[in-house]
Structure 1
Amino acid sequence: MNLNCNRSLFPILSSHTHLASCSQGAIAIPVSKAIEDYHQSLLNDGTNWGAALKKADAARGLFAQLIGAEKDEVAILCSVSDVFSSIMSTLTDHPKRKGLVFTDIDFPTVGHILYAQKTFKDHLSIVRSFNNEIPLEQYEKKVSNDTLLTCIPHVNYCNGYKQDVKKIADIVHGKGSLLFVDAYQSAGHIPINVKEMRIDMLATGTRKYLLGIPGVAFSYIRKELAKELNPRVTGWMGQEESAAFDLLNPIPAVGTRRFETGTPAFISIYAAYEALRVLLEVGINNIESHLKNLTQFGLQYGLEKGLSLAGPLTIENRTSLMSFHVENAPLVEAKLRERKIIVSARKNVIRIAPHFYNTQDDIQLALDELSQIV
């Protein structure tokens, strides 16, 4: 399948080389139209509450399809930080376990939220990486019979290192721990099946590889687990319909929807629905195959240009996110943007993150220009 026939869906590609899907994916015409449709419905009709709720439910269904879940196992919130904060609010009263395990390659919001939990402040354990990777033995050592929750990123946001979630799940479940997966850098370009991978909880937002805009995060919580959890971060949208307007008798919704809070960002949901539809139509397996070829080329060509790669040197345990060490990365990012090449700086690296609409020529151009600058 020639994925690049879809390049015409993305107007930015007519003027720029967009390689920043790890930060913000390119916006497709159907996504842009959905945003305009929401706007026009308010201008023309004054209110669109019923239609917006139906769109949210449809988007929930598409995301469930993307990750191999059931629709009632998916909640819609505004950000992954909101999702994780809500999850943590349910865990403070566990009768036996207090341990929380996270990694030094997690996105900072994970640490910020965990350190804010006074109940767990003396029970935090960090899994350390070695040469930008985490050996499975580290999870064997750090996850104990006291661990309540183990938090991992599917993919390292700095260098593209990809973890074997299924093997980690086997380890942490063997110790009796729950597993939370941050899929912000994987959902949309790597196949995910939460049942096969034995994930208990997963969260991701839509503005990166899911090709949407800020304002929407999807949360998956395994059905059997969701029934046992009662979030303290809640709101009227997380109640059973019969209790939504009952001030004194709240009844949490069945399933993961009990984690929803207030009115969501409907305009972002409209965008998310169309973005998910595009991704599912193209096919995540097709996207992954295409990106593996681009990554193989990019790794080899970058080394030929004398660039210093961060993260794994092969495609076996990494994604298409390719990071190269540079000094003053934000300045280099700005210089590349002046040349109409959109990449993303983090710490001391420039991240080149293609999607299915990118070509080998895009990668070569970006690496040529980057090597000239550094």
Structure 2
Amino acid sequence: MEHLPQQYRHLFPILQTHTMLASCSQSALAEPVSRAIQDYHDSLLYMGTNWKEAIEKTEFARNEFAKLIGAEPDEVAIVPSVSDALVSVASSLTAFGKKHVVYTDMDFPAVPHVWQAHSDYTVSVIPSIHGVMPLEQYETHISDETVLTCVPHVHYRDGYVQDIKAIAEISQRKGSLLFVDAYQSAGHIPIDVKEWGVDMLAAGTRKYLLGIPGVAFLYVRKELADALKPKASAWFGRESGFDGAYAKGARRFQTGTPAFISVYAAAAALSLLNHIGVPHIRDHVKTICADAVQYAAEKGLQLAAAQGGDQPGMVAIRDERASETAALLKKKKVICAPRENVIRLAPHFYNTKEDMRHAIDEIAAKTIHK
């Protein structure tokens, strides 16, 4: 799949001078996305107002995200962040009468932060085992009293990929709703919310979705959405904007005016991803990550991710001084994303095997000379 970087690498100016491997934190900015941001700016600078155009762009972005995950547009809400999405979801569950929520120790810290703030819920944490999450853990920890199970599609620290369809089957059998954090997967791993049986899914745009901070998307299954009454809802979540009736479908989870500049960026970015096709992106990323895993081992580097299962879309390398190493790499124009004692190399469709090998060479050199 080396033709992907050959076709699209020219769209990313940063790649002319840097090795950009930080998609798990912030992807490279594509020229079409940059132009969309400039379009928003210019519309205000030269026209004074752009409300109608911004609303149209918002609906375009909604449709593109729905296409990306196999949903219908009315099943997608536009929210400021994945954290805001989960806050809104948490405010909507009282109708079910059950008070037990579970999340995993692989979830991003924002997930426990949300549930710790809701004292009316009983919360349990599903522990991983040696860096993996066997399905038996979900069988054990989800009970008949569980109203919601929160899981990450991909572990933010090392790229471990979970079988969401299998987890959804367990959750449904136990009578629990399933919320999936797809921030680390949307854009490089194909997602089909209908085929998988997902109830809710959220993803932001600044990582593999090629956008900037300020906007995220919340999918809520249409049969479920109309039964929920989120307390975290405001005029963009109302039928006409000015009356008290909830909007139909997932739109009721929306609050105030979106960050339109981020919406413009998201619309351009999602359009590019859908044009390329996420299955093609996944094949490419898997190929170069598999090569990088082998190359890192040859260089004597220790991988942080547990082996087995689906090939992660990042290569996580253990380094007790990861932030220090990342800072040194940045001086060499290699951009990666450290996290705790791990250096994460997270490529996208614009990266090559050579990018990954160059970064690994630099990490090995820094590690040896520390």
Q: Does 1:332 align with 2:325?
A: yes
Alpha-carbon distance between aligned partners in 1 of 2:336 and 2:148, rounded to the nearest angstrom: 34
1:8 is aligned with what amino acid? H
CA offset at residue 313 of structure 1? 2.7
Separation in 2, partners of 1:139, 1:189: 25
Q: Deviations over 1:200-253 (max 9, x none)?
A: 000000000000000010000000100010110111111111xx234xxx1110
Aligned to 1:344: 337
Match of 2:62 in 1: 60
Query: How far did 1:92 drift?
Result: 3.0
Q: Could you tell me whether the CA contact under 8 Å between 1:15 and 1:340 is conserved in 2?
A: yes
User: Deviation digits for residues 246-298 of structure 1, max 9, x if unmatched?
Assistant: 4xxx1110110011100100000000000001111111111011111101101
Tell me which amino acid in the other structure corresponds to 2:351: N
Partner of 1:3: 4
SS of 2:149 mapped into structure 1: strand
* Number of the residue aligned with 1:323: 316
What is aligned with 1:301?
Answer: 295
Residue type at the aligned position of 1:245: F
* Residues 69-108 of structure 1 mapped to structure 2, 5 A cutoff: 69-95=71-97, 97-108=98-109
Instruction: Report the AA paired with residue 361 of structure 1.
Output: E
**Letter in structure 1 aligned against 2:282:** E
Q: CA deviation at 1:101?
A: 0.8
The whole-number CA distance in structure 2 between the counterparts of 1:201 and 1:65 is 15
Secondary structure of residue in 2 paired with 1:320:
coil
Q: What are the equivalent positions in structure 2 for 1:201-280 lying under 5 Å apart?
A: 201-241=200-240, 244-246=241-243, 250-280=244-274
Q: CA deviation at 1:93?
A: 4.2
CA–CA separation in structure 2 for the residues paired with 1:93 and 1:254: 17
Amino acid corresponding to residue 193 of structure 2 in structure 1: V
Contact 1:299–1:313 (Cα < 8 Å) also in 2: no
TM-score by length of 2: 0.97
2:120 matched to which residue of 1? 119
Distance in structure 2 (CA, Å) of the matches to 1:373 and 1:131: 28
Aligned alpha-carbon RMSD (Å): 0.9
Among 20, 23, 40, the alignment partner of 2:22 is 20
TM-score, with length taken from structure 1: 0.96
Q: Where does 1:168-179 land on structure 2 (aligned, <5 Å)?
A: 168-179=167-178
Q: Deviations over 1:169-197 (max 9, x none)?
A: 11111000000000000000000000001
> Hey, what does 1:369 align to over in structure 2?
362
Aligned partners of 2:95 and 2:228 also within 8 Å:
no
The answer (yes or no) to whether the contact 2:286–2:311 under 8 Å persists in 1 is no
Q: 2:21, 2:346 within 8 Å by CA — same for their partners in 1?
A: yes
Question: In 2, distance between residues paired with 1:296 and 1:313?
Answer: 11
The code of the aligned residue for 2:270 comes to L
Distance 1:14 1:237 in 2: 41
Equivalent pair of 1:294/1:320 in contact (CA under 8 Å):
no
- For residues 76-112 of structure 1, give each alpha carbon's deviation from its aligned partner in whole angstroms, at most 9, with x where no partner exists: 01100100000000113432x2111100000000000
Equivalent pair of 1:76/1:264 in contact (CA under 8 Å): yes
Is 2:179–2:201's contact at 8 Å kept on the other side of the alignment? yes
Contact 1:131–1:311 under 8 Å retained in 2: no
Q: Which 4+ stretches in 1 moved above 3 angstroms?
A: none
- 1:282 alignment partner in structure 2: 276
Check conservation: 2:290, 2:311, Cα contact below 8 A.
no
Partner of 1:149: 148
Q: Secondary structure at the match of 2:195?
A: coil
Identify the range of structure 1 (317-326 vs 20-29) with the bigger mean alpha-carbon deviation.
317-326
Contact kept, 8 Å, 1:17 with 1:342, in 2: the verdict is yes
Per-residue CA deviation, residues 25-52 of structure 1 (Å, 9 max, x unaligned), is: 1110000000000000001110000000
* Structure 2 residue identity aligned to 1:30: P
The answer to whether structure 1 residue 291 and structure 2 residue 288 are counterparts is: no
> Is 1:186 matched up with 2:185?
yes
SS of 2:94's equivalent in the other structure is: coil
CA contact (8 A) 2:103 2:124 kept: yes
The one-letter code sitting in structure 1 at the alignment partner of 2:354 is D
* In structure 1, C-alpha distance between the alignment counterparts of 2:74 and 2:311, rounded to whole Å: 31
- Looking at structure 1, the residues matched to 104 and 286 of structure 2 have their Cα atoms a distance apart, in angstroms, of 26
Give deviations 1:15-70, integer Å, cap 9, x for gaps: 00000000001110000000000000001110000000000001000000000000
The answer on whether the counterparts of 1:72 and 1:255 sit within 8 Å (CA) in structure 2 is yes
1:131 CA drift (Å): 1.4
Paired with 2:151 and 2:113, the residues of 1 have a C-alpha distance of 14
Name the CA distance, whole Å, in 2 between partners of 1:148 and 1:254.
22
- For 1:283 and 1:72, the matched residues in 2 are separated by 22
